């Protein structure tokens, strides 16, 4: 027997209220039967005694206060999963939109997931090669890590997300899958993502969840949860190493703010709900590795900082939860540098445990430290040059300016379709460092200098044609 409740007590925005419900449960799914014969889906978002507040996925248009009927299913929202989800494209709520029909599986998982027992977590150590020099060498992504990208409106974070998805791989392991979740994107951006994956041949290892800007707000809140549910299934049930790319978390946070406002909740900083931190945590902490399970879940959430403000609540709270950040620079992109990664404010807190002789190459940690130190001094010299002029700088300072220019033009800068190996990246880093005198490389070991430092300065004749870099 299916029990239905007739009539609503209130309709407000995308929310409806039903009174007299027998033991409603938070997060319970409901079926809403309209008087025109159609059925809509909803979810219980608030419980007040026998009163249930329901978020309607498709909106409340045409819903009648008196003629609507509500059926409470008694279950949370679940996602149908199976091995054939790879290569598929879904809506933000997990409905297939690629014309290939429903997922042929009887397995349905709660989209809220299950918290990972801290005792059963494995400390992340193995690195993921993205083929992007600035990330692989200086902000290394580690398997099981959560490493966000802090971008700004108008920067090329979508291109960077696609490049990471297409090029990322784990050495010696073919069971690698990409979960790509886009929230609040326009139709042309969604088409760009689909076409890039299809044309590159990477779609067969990608599961896409697309929430468009004109889709319901509630779906935007569900998108990262269904994406992470798919990732956990592939990782912990089928043994895949999954990389979850979620863009844009700012759209998600704004949807959460709108949803919170419609419920009449007291706003926190800049109007966002006071539980924004815990809500972000419920998503980001689903990354990791579990003892006894072969697979892993690695996250790269992408967010656009409102007003380029890194202290805004969205990047601020994200930085507290995650293990580092990759920061994109408007100035670098303005100078034609792609990807415009601002090296100095970027970091990967798990990098030290995932690089070195065991994982990449013995010189990697030393090279990374020296590149950071030398590039930091470049910024000091540039500030000095803006005051006294470049002509009055010392010879060493002029070499630092030269190093900074070629570090940006040849090490950071690369084509969106250029997939560099870790060996290529490290060799390139040493060649750029060789612009500076060996005496300036104070963070390197003598044996490293003897092995990798280029003493023949004829190879560093940048003014002629930069042949050695063009032919690395």
Domain boundaries, the chain: 4-76, 79-128+139-351, 364-470
Cβ contact 183:244 at 8 Å: no
Report the SS3 class of residue 399.
Answer: helix
Picking from 357, 28, 433, 78, the residue whose alpha carbon sits closest to that of residue 232 is: 78
pLDDT above 60: residue 468: no
> pLDDT tens for residues 153-164?
999 999 999 999
Q: How is domain 4-76 classified at the CATH fold level?
A: Elongation Factor Tu (Ef-tu); domain 3 (2.40.30)
Fold match flag (4-76 vs 364-470):
no
Which pLDDT score, from 0 to 100, does residue 461 have? 56
Report the SS3 class of residue 138.
Answer: helix
Task: Give one DSSP letter per residue of 218-266, joined into a string.
Answer: HHHHHHHHHHHHHHHHHHHTT--EEEEEEE-HHHHHHHHHHHHHHTTPP
> pLDDT tens for residues 292-318?
999 999 999 999 999 999 999 999 999
The separation between CA 376 and the C-alpha centre of its own chain, rounded to angstroms, equals: 26
- Which band of pLDDT confidence, cut at 50, 70 and 90, is reported for residue 420? very high
pLDDT above 60: residue 1: no
Q: Which CATH number fits domain 364-470: 1.10.3470, 2.60.120, 1.10.260, 1.10.1140?
A: 1.10.1140
Predicted model pTM: 0.92
- Which band of pLDDT confidence, cut at 50, 70 and 90, is reported for residue 28? very high
CATH level 2 (architecture), domain 79-128+139-351: 3-Layer(aba) Sandwich (3.40)
Which pLDDT score, from 0 to 100, does residue 470 have? 46
The separation between CA 284 and the C-alpha centre of its own chain, rounded to angstroms, equals: 10
């Amino acid at each position: 027997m299916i029990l239905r409740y007739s009539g609503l007590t209130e309709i407000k925005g995308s929310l409806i209220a039903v009174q007299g419900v027998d033991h409603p449960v938070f997060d319970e799914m409901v079926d809403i039967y309209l008087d025109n014969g159609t059925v809509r889906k909803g979810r219980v978002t608030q419980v007040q005694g026998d009163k249930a507040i329901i978020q309607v996925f498709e909106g409340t248009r045409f819903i009648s206060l008196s003629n609507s009927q509500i059926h409470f299913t008694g279950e949370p929202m679940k996602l149908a999963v199976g091995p054939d989800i790879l290569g598929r494209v879904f809506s933000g709520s997990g409905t297939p939109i690629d014309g290939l029909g429903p997922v042929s599986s009887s397995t349905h998982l709660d989209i809220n997931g299950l918290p990972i027992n801290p005792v059963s977590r494995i400390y992340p150590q193995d690195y993921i090669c993205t083929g992007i020099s600035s990330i692989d060498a200086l902000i290394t992504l580690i398997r099981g890590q959560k490493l966000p990208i802090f971008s700004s409106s108008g920067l090329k974070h979508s291109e960077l997300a696609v490049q990471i998805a297409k090029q990322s791989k784990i050495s010696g392991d073919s069971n690698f899958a990409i979960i790509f979740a886009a929230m609040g994107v326009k139709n042309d951006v969604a088409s760009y993502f689909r076409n890039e994956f299809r044309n590159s041949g990477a779609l067969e290892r990608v599961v896409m969840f697309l929430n468009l800007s004109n889709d319901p707000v509630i779906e935007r809140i569900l998108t990262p949860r269904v994406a992470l549910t798919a990732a956990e299934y592939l990782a912990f049930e089928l043994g895949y190493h999954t990389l979850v790319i979620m863009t844009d978390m700012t759209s998600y946070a704004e949807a959460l703010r709108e949803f919170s406002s419609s419920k009449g909740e007291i706003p926190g900083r800049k109007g966002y709900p006071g539980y924004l931190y815990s809500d972000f945590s419920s998503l980001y902490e689903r990354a990791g590795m579990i003892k006894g399970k072969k697979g892993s879940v690695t996250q790269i959430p992408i967010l656009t900082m409102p007003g380029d403000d890194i202290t805004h609540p969205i990047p601020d709270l994200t930085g507290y939860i995650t293990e580092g950040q990759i920061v994109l620079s408007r100035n670098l992109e303005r100078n034609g540098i792609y990807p415009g990664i601002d090296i100095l404010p970027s970091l990967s807190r798990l990098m030290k445990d995932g690089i070195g002789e065991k994982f990449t190459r013995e010189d990697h940690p030393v090279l990374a430290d020296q590149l950071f130190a030398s590039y930091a001094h470049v910024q000091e010299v540039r500030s000095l040059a803006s005051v006294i002029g470049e002509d009055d700088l010392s010879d060493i300072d002029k070499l630092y300016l030269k190093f900074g220019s070629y570090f940006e033009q040849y090490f950071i800068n690369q084509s969106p379709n250029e997939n560099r190996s870790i060996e290529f990246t490290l060799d390139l880093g040493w060649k750029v460092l060789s612009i500076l005198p060996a005496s300036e490389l104070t963070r390197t070991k003598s044996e490293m200098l003897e092995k990798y430092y280029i003493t023949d300065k004829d190879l560093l004749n940048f003014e002629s044609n930069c042949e050695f870099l063009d032919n690395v």
